[in-house]
Amino acid sequence: MSGDTSVRVIAFPGAPNLPTFAAMELGFFAARGIEVVLEMTPSSVAQAERCANGEIDIACTAFDNVVAYAEGAGAAGPGVDPGYVTLMGATQLELSLVTAPDVEQYADLVGRSIALDAPNTGFAFVLYEMLRRAGVEAGTYEVVAVGATPRRWESVRDGQHAATLTLEPFTTIAARAGFRVLARSTDVLSSYQGGVITAPRSRLEERPEAIHGFMHGYLDGLEWVLDPANRAAAGVMLVERLGVSSEAVTGILDSLLSSRSGLTPQGAILDDGVATVLDLRSRYGGKQLVDSGRYLDRSHYETVVAAR
């Protein structure tokens, strides 16, 4: 397949891509008449730039990124507008605060540097909230823009920074390497809309059928991943796709399949989680946000679900 059947997708590295991996390997996308070309982004800025340039059909990104760019506050700056439209949910969020082994408590981060994707993204706001609740005030630590999770983890591993926030499989990798998981975002936030599936508005207008085909295939892959009968096969897929050890897979899957921290059944959007994102961005981004409808278009999801 090629040409108009090809759907270009950009995502962050990590285990939450498992439904997409499954749909690619098991032929679910092909059954929907599309061929998915998947690439991993090094940062949210690079992802937004690619989408703004018209190179991408689907972006698997954080819901806060959608909000930020809609409000003219995206990390890539005011000259970049990826035109993100949220089509469906992907993950509840659990970020782990991974630290150097000598960091035994939050107070040990005072005067140290923490690696982030960017200082004004939703993940950064989650960090600020975790630190605030632990009594570590803004200005007592340094945040440094490093990029997506692999780069952030490597910067802590290599001693460049004292801490970062990780997703799976990097949390398990870090823990097995002797680094400390100091806390998890789910300790302080009961619900948070983490990953979402979006399309740049221009691509959605030009290629709705192809994008609907991706949504169908992704939901097929999600159903397969969430079926307990496929857990062993899903673990093998993670080993092959992410290069993690087979010993680490159990912990990664436990997090990925958890209703508290993992994939969202049926690809639903979590209204409580959306509200949390808007609350954090309102408090740390400097502008009160209340209208979630600015960032969502549920009609495409409803169309796809009705046809299933």
**Res. 1: pLDDT tops 60:** no
Identify whether the C-beta of residue 119 lies closer than 8 Å to the C-beta of residue 147: no
Calculate mean pLDDT across residues 13-21: 96
| Mean local confidence (pLDDT), 218-237 | 98
Average pLDDT rounded to a whole number, residues 179-195: 94
Quick one: pLDDT at residue 260?
84
What is residue 261's predicted lDDT score, i.e. its pLDDT? 84
C-alpha to C-alpha distances, 128 to 29, 138, 192, nearest whole angstrom? 39, 7, 15
Range 19-37 average pLDDT: 98
Q: Are the beta carbons of 45 and 61 closer than 8 angstroms? A: no
SS (H, E, C) the chain: CCHHHEEEEEECCCHHHHHHHHHHHCCHHHHCCCEEEEEECCCHHHHHHHHHCCCCCEEEEEHHHHHHHHCCCCCCCCCCCCCEEEEEECEECCCEEEECCCCCCHHHHCCCEEEECCCCCHHHHHHHHHHHHCCCCCCCCEEEECCCHHHHHHHHHCCCCCEEEECCCHHHHHHHCCCEEEEEHHHCCCCCECEEEEEEHHHHHHCHHHHHHHHHHHHHHHHHHHCHHHHHHHHHHHHHHHCCCHHHHHHHHHHHCCCCCCECHHHCCCHHHHHHHHHHHHHHHCCCCCCHHHCECCHHHHHHHHHC
Residue 86's closest CA among 307, 245, 268? 268
pLDDT at 21 over 70: yes
Query: What number is the average pLDDT over the span 27-34?
Result: 97
pLDDT in tens, 76-90: 998 999 999 999 999
- Residue 2 in contact with residue 239, Cβ under 8 Å? no
Give the up-direction half-sphere exposure of residue 225: CA atoms within 13 A in the CB hemisphere.
34
Residue range 175-182: mean pLDDT, rounded: 96
Question: pLDDT, tens digit, for every residue of 136-172?
Answer: 999 999 999 999 999 999 999 999 999 999 989 999 9
pLDDT range class, residue 3, cuts 50, 70, 90: low
Query: What number is the average pLDDT over the span 219-243?
Result: 97
Give pTM, 2 decimals.
0.90
Mean pLDDT of 203-214: 96
List, in sequence order, every residue forming a beta bridge with 179; answer none if it has no partner.
Answer: none
**66 pLDDT higher than 60:** yes
Q: Given this model, what pLDDT does residue 4 score?
A: 82
* pLDDT score of 224: 98
The token pair at 298 is: 């549920």
Residue 114: is its pLDDT beyond 90?
yes
Once rounded to an integer, what is the mean pLDDT over residues 175-192? 94
Domains and CATH numbers, the chain: 3-92+192-307 (3.40.190.10), 96-187 (3.40.190.10)
pLDDT mean across residues, the chain: 95
